[in-house]
Amino acid sequence: MKLEIKDLHVSVSGKEILKGISLEVNSGEKHVIMGPNGSGKSTLAKAIMGHPKFTVTSGEMLVDGKSINSLATDKRARLGLFLQFQDPVEIDGVGFISFLRAAKESIDGKAVGMKDFMKDMRGNISSLKLGDEFIGRSLNQGFSGGEKKKAEVLQMAMLKPGIAILDEPDSGLDIDAIKVVAENINKIADSTKPGLLIITHHTRILGYMKPDFVHVMVDGRIVANGGSELSDRLEKEGYNSYISKGSETSR
């Protein structure tokens, strides 16, 4: 599967946030987007998934060569796109298991047998170090920050997307939880080979998962590209030189 972003411009309430993003993510690749707060990283994630608040003013998003600009979010999900939210919402009264099974049936286009579904679910719950009581809870209701992030990774493991966008999967996690989340993302990457687009501020999670490509985003633009060595440089030097570069590009 291939996701292509071509010269994408996105506005929110009339203000331009993304100012010409071009990017290509293929199955089996690990891409990381890093950058300071307010650079447009989460806007890109939500625009790819078709959030109605974000207006594409020009440019194109394609999946396997076909434009998705006009597609509703559910249709993008059926094509194989997945978004792990930075701050998942709590929905009282909607069982986590019921929600996830319905989502899988909608994406797969067929009924899902409960026996096999629960076997897969329990295996992933154990791998993510979540207790069995997790099965009976409402969607994100009363979850800790770490549980919410692990629940999003659990959804990715069960839905098996072709392209997964992970919006700050490490934020709010302690050192042990970051390791568990990273190991499970690696496990999914090894087994089903999705293309990964990981958005983060920090390099902590990258200590457990080596990216193929690193992109630096500043002020709605990608101002640098490289491999894992670029994330190492950012850890040592910070974003200041790239912020200056972004400002020069904006002139």
55-63 and 66-67 strand pairing: antiparallel
Average pLDDT of the chain to the nearest whole number: 91
The one-letter code for the residue type at 88 is P
Task: Categorize the per-residue pLDDT at 191 as very low, low, confident or very high, splitting at 50, 70 and 90.
Answer: very high
Domain-by-domain residue ranges, the chain? 2-250
**Alpha-carbon gap, residue 26 to 194, rounded angstroms:** 8
Orientation angle between helical segments 175-192 and 114-127, nearest 10 degrees: 140
pLDDT in tens, 33-65: 999 989 999 999 999 999 999 999 999 999 999
**Alpha-carbon gap, residue 158 to 101, rounded angstroms:** 9
pLDDT in tens, 77-98: 999 999 998 877 777 788 888 9
CB atoms within 10 A of CB 200: 21
pLDDT above 70 covers what percent of the chain? Answer: 97
Lowest mean pLDDT among 5-14, 43-52, 118-127, 131-140: 131-140
Rounded to the nearest 10 degrees, how much is the dihedral formed by the CA atoms of 83, 89, 91, 97? Answer: 40
Q: In this predicted model, which residue has the larger pLDDT, 9 or 250?
A: 9
The one-letter code for the residue type at 39 is S
105 has a pLDDT exceeding 80: yes
Orientation angle between helical segments 175-192 and 145-159, nearest 10 degrees: 10
Chain centre distance of CA 211? 14
pLDDT in tens, 175-188: 999 999 999 999 99
Q: Specify the CATH number of the domain 2-250.
A: 3.40.50.300
Residue 8 has φ and ψ, to the nearest 5°, of: -80, 125
Given a contact cutoff of 8 angstroms between Cβ atoms, the answer to whether 65 and 2 are in contact is yes
**Alpha-carbon gap, residue 133 to 122, rounded angstroms:** 11
pLDDT of residue 88: 78
pLDDT of residue 245: 59
